[in-house]
A and B are shown apart, each in its own frame.
Chain A
Amino acid sequence: MPRGLLQLVFIIMVNGFICATTTSAQTPRESKKVLILFAHEAQQSAQIIAEQAIRSTLIKGTPDQLEIYSEYLDAARTPIDSFEKDIVSLLRRKYEDKKLDLILAFNTPALKLVLNNRSVLFPRTPIVFMILEQRNLAELHLGSNVTGIWAESNYRSNLDLALVLQPETKRVVVISGVGQWDNYFRAAVKEDFQPYEGKLEFEYLTGLTVSELQKALSNLPPHTIVSFISSAQDKARNNTGNLEVLRQICPVSNSPVYGATDAQLGLGIVGGRLTSFERLGIVAGEISARILAGEKPEEIPPHGVPGIAMFDSRELRRWGISEQSLPAGSIIRFKDPSIWQLYKWHIAGILALLALQTSLITILLIQRKQRRIAKESLAKLNAELERRIVSRTAALDAKTSELETFAYSVAHDLKAPLRGIDGYSRLLLEDHFTSLNVEGRSFLQTIHSSVEEMSQLIDDLLAYSRLERRDFNPDHIELAPLISRLVAQKNRESIESNVDFVVDVNGSSVVADANGLMQSLGNYIDNAIKFTRKVPRPRIEIGAKEMESTCLLWVKDNGIGFDPKYGDRIFDIFQRLNQPEDYPGTGVGLAIVRKAVERMGGRAWAEGKPMEGATFYLEIPKSNGATLTNE
């Protein structure tokens, strides 16, 4: 078996073992079993509220598994005295094997049933009760292992509250039925309202049918309030039920109706200090959870649970009662949800989107501003740079022009004394010939040739300088006539040389500065003549070839040539490769060529080998940047 697979099997086995041990550790804890015995039928509203509160509180407060059983005695409609034994026997048989941990009795009939049959119905199981009237405990013997709560009587405090909210009240209409419980509650209320007799006018509407109540309530005099006690049964023996009665009478009443319990809230009562079944259920659930956790019922003495001031927002509005006048801690139900409550998440979402959008826009605006600032400063910098370039260029131009003028003037003025030197040395030679010996005459000859050399140098410098300053005038030039004119001129100038000129320019033409081209080719030819002087059969070829965008010209000689490593240096000003005695020259001629050609946008270079002749090239654009002027 591969090693990886073995590892996998091992891991699975170990995990399986851990899972098994965890499960087996949990199994010994048995679930807690609770029986809730309700006095009323399952659908009784108050009881439903209480049951929900009990169950949720119990589940929340008990870490163990819970099994909750509910039994509904329906004792209000069918009093259980006559078949109590049957019920007890049924309950006993039903729950004997369950081993109940707790019995929760809701309301007096249920409590009475368990207490009366304690010996049969699970004597060791703790009992938690939840009843409405403390005085009902008087006729019961609680015994041990029993605790519970009751609802504190609210009738009086309810009236107190009503009078605070509606201080102008003069009359109180008390509604009650004629059922067993109705009579019981009415008696209690009468007792509670005793202190108000004389101060307020009380009217007891007892046992009226719904329609009678509707009629009565719609015709109440001003400054009246209605106190609804209970109306389980009317004098016509209708068991309409409190909640249904309220649902039908409240809408037609012309005075506010104060109720008794939170089960009635929402049916049209204003509210009041109400017995809260929810609160009772929670408290009973909490006590039950404590006992299930191990506390003894004796450690939790029975106690009352006060009512809670609760109101129906819609009714408050209907009767013009401000929420501000309600006691602190009042619970207001059925509030119209505000726009905020209704659309809280929409609004939050929209706000979040808006915030996001705003921040994005802000970021974009900031970025845009930063970019604009950067752009502006760049533009400013550019402008400043431009301005500086312009001013420096102008300064430089002025300096260059000054320098050129200076060089030119110097060259010019150098010629005047030269003329003096030559003139007078020549006069000396001619007019005082006899007074001079041979050596003196040869000195004067040397002076003369020195002057000649210097004069040539100055002329070349002037030409070079003039090239710099002269305007460049491009012109369409046919090469053949230009070169034959040049050759003729050069032949004339150097009669003693017997150079064989070979010209073949193939009818080429260029766009160039005529003076510059003439001077360049002239200097090339001069150069070729000079360096072929000592060759037996001097020969100079002049050629041209039109290329794609340029015209190539060359002057080829069979002279002494040159070392190729100096090929580029010979174009530098004052650069010479030979002794002036052998090949006199100023070293400016080729510099002039290069400058002239570069001004035309072309280039000049040379190829050669010692004693094998040289070829000097000119490459000129056919139509260069300088446009042809048609004059």
Chain B
Amino acid sequence: MNEDLNPILIVEDRATDIDLTKRAFAKRHLLNPIQVARDGEEALAYMDRWRAGEPLPVFILLDLRLPKISGLEVLRELKKHSTYSRIPVIVLTTSAEDHDVEEAYKLGCNSYILKPVEFNKFIEVASQIEVYWCALNTTPTT
């Protein structure tokens, strides 16, 4: 892990999905440290840590179906904030429901990606995320 790189925040309740995501990024040789929030509450708690000076994540991978506080709620809270709203949020979920997609974009998500079942495709997705959000995309500096 490279301490100089900003982290990537994965908000996901399933341990296997977290592990597979980490491995997928590892396969793509992504060096950013990975932070994990296991539910909506933990995800929002990161806002306090950022306020305390911890580095902001490069992007957040957000699952929608989360315990305690839903992914859409987390998204809404993040996008309300003047600074943290700039953090790119990539919704990575199994839900292809129209209203989930619509709601997520309405709240300001930057990308909506369906979680593939096949690991190869998962790696592909991870790679594309990495290429786009870590290499191509530019976010305003604070």
Q: Which residues of A contact B (CB under 8 A)?
A: 408, 412, 415-420, 422-427, 448, 451-452, 455, 462, 466, 470
Interchain CB contact under 8 A, B16 and A466: no
| Cβ 8 A contact of B17, one of A412, A419, A425, A470 | A419
12 sampled A-B residue pairs with Cβ under 8 A: A412-B95, A415-B94, A416-B16, A416-B17, A419-B116, A420-B20, A422-B117, A423-B16, A423-B119, A426-B120, A427-B119, A455-B118
A448 / chain B contacts, CB cutoff of 8 Å: 118
Which listed residue (B14, B23, B96, B122) contacts A416, Cβ 8 A?
B14
Determine the distance from Cα of A452 to Cα of B118 in the docked complex, in whole angstroms: 7
Q: Tell me the minimal C-beta distance from A412 to chain B in angstroms.
A: 5
New A-B pairs, 10, CB < 8 Å, besides A415-B94, A466-B98, A470-B98: A412-B94, A412-B95, A416-B16, A416-B17, A419-B16, A419-B17, A419-B122, A423-B20, A423-B23, A427-B23
* Contact between chains at A451 and B115 (CB < 8 Å): no
CA distance A416 to B13 in the complex (A): 11
Question: Which residues of chain B come closer than 8 Å to A418, judged between CB atoms?
Answer: 117
A499 to B96, CA, bound (A): 30
Nearest neighbor of A429 in chain B, beta-carbon distance: B119
Q: Tell yes or no: B97 within 8 A of A by CB.
A: yes
Of B16, B95, B96, B120, the contact of A420 (CB 8 Å cutoff)? B16
Interface residues of B in 100-130 (CB under 8 A from A): 115-120, 122
Say how far A27's CB is from chain B's closest CB, in angstroms: 123
Residues of A within 8 A of B98 (CB): 466, 470
Residues of A near B122 (CB, < 8 A) are 419, 423
> Which B residue's beta carbon lies closest to that of A455?
B117
- Which residue of the partner chain A has the closest CB to B65? A412
Interface flags for B14-35 (1: CB within 8 Å of A; 0: not) read 1011001001000000000000
Give A470 to B97 CA distance when docked, in angstroms. 9
A423-B16, A423-B20, A427-B23 known; A416+B94 contact, CB < 8 A: yes
| A470 contact set on B, CB distance < 8 A | 98
Q: Name the residue in B98, B119, B120, B122 with the highest tally of chain A Cβ atoms < 10 Å from its Cβ.
A: B119
- A227 to chain B: closest CB distance in Å? 128
- Chain B residues near A452: list those with CB within 8 A: 117-118
Pick the 10 closest A-B CB pairs, nearest first. Answer: A426-B119, A455-B117, A420-B16, A423-B119, A423-B20, A418-B117, A419-B117, A422-B119, A415-B94, A412-B94
Contacts of A451 in B (CB 8 A): 117-118
Kindly state the separation between the CA atoms of A419 and B65 in the bound complex, as whole angstroms: 16
**Residues on A with beta carbons closer than 8 Å to the beta carbon of B20:** 419-420, 423-424
A408 to chain B: closest residue by CB:
B97
Give bound CA distance, A427 to B65, whole Å. Answer: 26
Complexed CA–CA distance, A420 and B97 (Å): 22
A106 to B72, CA, bound (A): 139
State the CA gap A415–B121 with chains docked (Å): 14
CB-defined interface of B41-55 with A at 8 Å, one 1/0 digit per residue?
000000000000000
Task: Indicate if the CB atoms of A462 and B96 lie closer than 8 Å.
Answer: yes
Question: How far apart sit A416 and B94, CA to CA, in the bound complex (Å)?
Answer: 8
Closest chain-B Cβ to A82's Cβ sits at a distance in Å of 149
Query: Please, which residue of chain A has its CB at the minimum distance from the CB of B93?
Result: A412
> How far does the Cβ of A470 sit from chain B's closest Cβ, in whole Å?
6
Contacts of B14 in A (CB 8 A): 416
- Contact indicator B96/A466 (Cβ below 8 Å): yes
The smallest beta-carbon distance between A422 and chain B, in angstroms, is: 5
Expressed in whole angstroms, the minimum distance between the Cβ of A518 and any Cβ of chain B is: 14
What's the least CB distance linking B53 to chain A, in Å? 35
Of B23, B97, B115, which contacts A415 at CB under 8 A?
Answer: B115
Task: Report the separation of the CA atoms of residues A462 and B119 in the bound assembly, to the nearest whole angstrom.
Answer: 20
B residues less than 8 Å from A415 (CB atoms): 94, 115, 117
Q: How far is the CA of A19 from the CA of B97 in the complex (A)?
A: 114
Q: Which of B95, B97, B118, B120 has the most CB of A within 10 A?
A: B118
Contacts of B96 in A (CB 8 A): 462, 466
Q: What separation, in Å, do the CA atoms of A408 and B99 have in the docked complex?
A: 14
A427 (CB) vs chain B CBs: closest residue = B23
Identify the closest chain A residue to B24 (Cβ): A423
The reply to whether A466 and B118 form a contact with Cβ atoms under 8 Å apart is no
Q: A276 → chain B, closest Cβ, in Å? A: 119
Chain B proximity of A407: nearest CB distance (Å): 13
A413, closest chain B residue (CB): B94
Closest to B95 in A: A412
Cβ of A419 and Cβ of B115 under 8 Å apart? yes
* Complex alpha-carbon distance, A415 and B17, angstroms: 11
A-side contacts of B118, CB under 8 Å? 422, 426, 448, 451-452, 455
Give the shortest distance, in Å, between A584 (CB) and chain B (any CB). Answer: 15
Residues of A within 8 A of B120 (CB): 426
- Residues of A near B119 (CB, < 8 A) are 419, 422-423, 425-427
Give the shortest distance, in Å, between B16 (CB) and chain A (any CB). 4
Q: A residues within 8 A CB of B23?
A: 423, 427
Interfacial chain B residues near A424, Cβ < 8 Å: 16, 20
- Chain B residues within 8 Å of A466, by CB: 96-98
Tell me the bound Cα distance from A455 to B20 in angstroms: 17
Contact residues in B for A423 (Cβ distance below 8 Å)? 16, 20, 23, 119, 122
Separation in Å of the A591 CB from the closest CB of chain B?
A: 18
With the chains together, A273 CA to B41 CA distance in Å?
133
Q: How far is the CA of A466 from the CA of B100 in the complex (A)?
A: 13
| A455 cross-chain contacts in B, Cβ below 8 A | 117-118
Task: State the Cβ distance, B29 to closest chain A Cβ, in Å.
Answer: 14
* Minimal Cβ-Cβ distance residue in A for B97: A466
How far in angstroms is the closest Cβ of chain A from B124? 12
A426 and B16 CA atoms in complex are apart in Å by 14
B123 to chain A, nearest CB (A): 9
Which residues of chain A have C-beta atoms less than 8 A from B115's C-beta? 415, 419
Least distance between B122 CB and chain A CB atoms (Å): 7
Chain A, Cβ-Cβ closest to B20: A423
A83 to chain B, nearest CB (A): 146
Residues of B near A462 (CB, < 8 A) are: 96
| Chain B residues with CB below 8 A from A426, complex form | 118-120
Q: How far is the CA of A569 from the CA of B118 in the complex (A)?
A: 32
Binary CB contact string for chain B from 120 to 142 against chain A (1 if under 8 A, 0 otherwise): 10100000000000000000000
Nearest CB on A from B98, distance (A): 6
CB distance from A522 to the nearest CB of B (A): 15
B72 to chain A, nearest CB (A): 16
Complex interface: chain B residues within 8 A of A422 (CB): 117-119
Question: Which residue of B has the minimal Cβ distance to A430?
Answer: B27
